[in-house]
Amino acid sequence: FDTVDLIRTKRSGDALGTAEIDWLVDAYTRGYVEDPQMAALAMAIFLNGMERREIKDLTLAMIASGERMSFDALGKTTVDKHSTGGVGDKITLPLAPLVASFGVAVPQLSGRGLGHTGGTLDKLESIPGWQAALSNSRLLEILDDVGAVICAAGSGLAPADKKLYALRDITGTVECIPLIASSIMSKKIAEGTGALVLDVKFGSGAFMPTYEASKELAQTMVDLGNDAGVATSALLTDMEVPLGLTIGNALEVRESVEVLEGGGPADVVELTVALATEMLTLAGLPDADPAAALADGRAMDTWRRMIAAQGGDPGAALPVAREQHVVTAPESGVLVSQEALPFGVAAWRLGAGRARAQDPVQAGAGIELHVKPGDTVTEGQPLWTLHTDEPDRFDRALESLDGAWAIGPADSAAAVRGPIVRERIT
């Protein structure tokens, strides 16, 4: 095929054939199709979309670009969760050990944060001693023994996606349903999980600008999974406001441990239990009671074993940032808004996230929220505490928070929020 012809086809809004997509992805992985060509194609896809059949072909071609793992030898049902990413989204941390405490294997191959959303591996690395990298054989051993593993995805899974995602990141072509759906699902299908629950976010801190777009993304991914033989469902969940009361690596680990101790913020518990119920249902255990396993310490026991299996000390003190800055309420009333995206950006500017893939992150940096929308506040009370090792970061973080929240009259209806899980997609 001629690469330029294929770019022109997509530029005109026509569909690419199966053999054309297979060839493109393979040639791009090998370096025959070059980055500028793939960038032009990604932009043509961004602007003109793809048919369902093309999205499926793209997903299968990206799977075929690398290795396919299998957990068949385990003799346990495997179920995985993937979130499209949000602010304060630490759910994987309590969820994986919670689901594994029912005898189901949970292989969570995770990533690092880029931009305003945090990465699960960055969060866990704030636990002294904990290691993200595991060999495939060690991964299987821990799954067999403990049941839950959260580790770095090996570089052999969907290498075409790895290249394409890095390219999209620098060419303004990330927020595109065909490209997001094929990117996420190629990795999840190649990983070899038997079942998959997707947590697809909507709202200001989510990838997709509208509820309808998030729903279309969810349905596209659910169809891709089920077509490939992976039992897949999705929950559409609220990302208008940050999840829980912490944003930042060690701060989020601390909150996850609170949930595993049977406490923690109501929204984090609600979403953890909803996703666990969905995962256990797909794994054939619809009557399991995840809330009970949080309350009676079974999930905590699995967490400790999971952290220790990867070299971490589950009892060690977590790092704390050197400097704090408290923002107080300028007036009394009710907190009526708290936008996820600017809070995520502020935590990132404090050092919790990275601008380039090779940058380090600060374990202790981030934001503690003392109030959530709907809470009554009194003039002068602390609203949020900003944490960083480098105090010259406070100003830029505070700039991001400017206008990102509001206090209204005590009877304000604007503070009333719906349930966190808005819809289930199968």
Mind telling me the catalytic residues?
82, 161, 168, 183, 187
Q: Which runs of E-coded beta strand occur in 64-173?
A: 79-83, 106-110, 148-152
Q: Are strands 231-238 and 195-202 parallel, antiparallel or unpaired?
A: parallel
Write the interaction track for ligand URA spanning residues 116-155; mark x where CB under 6 A is met and - where it is not: ----------------------------------------
DSSP state of 12: T
Binding positions for ligand URA, 351-380, rule CB under 6 A = none
DSSP state of 48: H
Q: Which is nearer to ligand URA, 46 or 130 (CB)?
A: 46
131-139, 172-180, 266-274, 279-287 -> range binding ligand URA (CB under 6 A)? 172-180
Query: Is residue 184 within the footprint of ligand URA (CB under 6 A)?
Result: yes
Q: Which is nearer to ligand URA, 201 or 387 (CB)?
A: 201
Q: Nearest 5 degrees, angle CA 332-CA 338-CA 341?
A: 155
- CA separation for the pair 20, 62 (Å, rounded): 13
- CA separation for the pair 198, 218 (Å, rounded): 8
**How many residues in the shown chain lie near ligand URA by CB under 6 A?**
6
Q: Which of 130, 165, 202, 348 binds ligand URA (CB under 6 A)?
A: 165
Query: Is residue 102 within the footprint of ligand URA (CB under 6 A)?
Result: no
Query: Is residue 62 within the footprint of ligand URA (CB under 6 A)?
Result: no
Task: Give the up-direction half-sphere exposure of residue 189: CA atoms within 13 A in the CB hemisphere.
Answer: 30
Query: Is residue 3 within the footprint of ligand URA (CB under 6 A)?
Result: no
Phi, psi (degrees; rounded to nearest 5) at 166: -60, -40
Name residues whose C-beta falls within 8 Å of residue 212's C-beta, 6 or more positions apart in sequence: none
101-109, 177-185, 272-280, 303-311 -> range binding ligand URA (CB under 6 A)? 177-185
Query: Is residue 160 within the footprint of ligand URA (CB under 6 A)?
Result: no
Query: Is residue 183 within the footprint of ligand URA (CB under 6 A)?
Result: yes
Q: Which is nearer to ligand URA, 90 or 162 (CB)?
A: 162
Can you read off the two tokens belonging to residue 17? 């054939």
Question: Which ranges constitute the DSSP H helices of 192-314?
Answer: 211-227, 249-260, 266-282, 290-295, 298-309
Q: Which amino acid, residue 207?
A: F
Q: Which is nearer to ligand URA, 91 or 299 (CB)?
A: 91
Q: Which amino acid, residue 46?
A: F
Q: Which of 62, 69, 100, 180 binds ligand URA (CB under 6 A)?
A: 180
Can you read off the two tokens belonging to residue 216? 């279309």
Q: How far is the CB of 164 from ligand URA (least distance, A)?
A: 8
Q: How far is the CB of 355 from ligand URA (least distance, A)?
A: 17
Q: What is the distance between the terminal CA atoms of the chain, rounded to a whole angstrom?
A: 37
Q: Which is nearer to ligand URA, 85 or 94 (CB)?
A: 85
- CA separation for the pair 357, 363 (Å, rounded): 16
Q: Closest residue (Cβ) to ligand URA?
A: 183
* Chain positions contacting ligand URA, by CB under 6 A: 165, 174, 179-180, 183-184
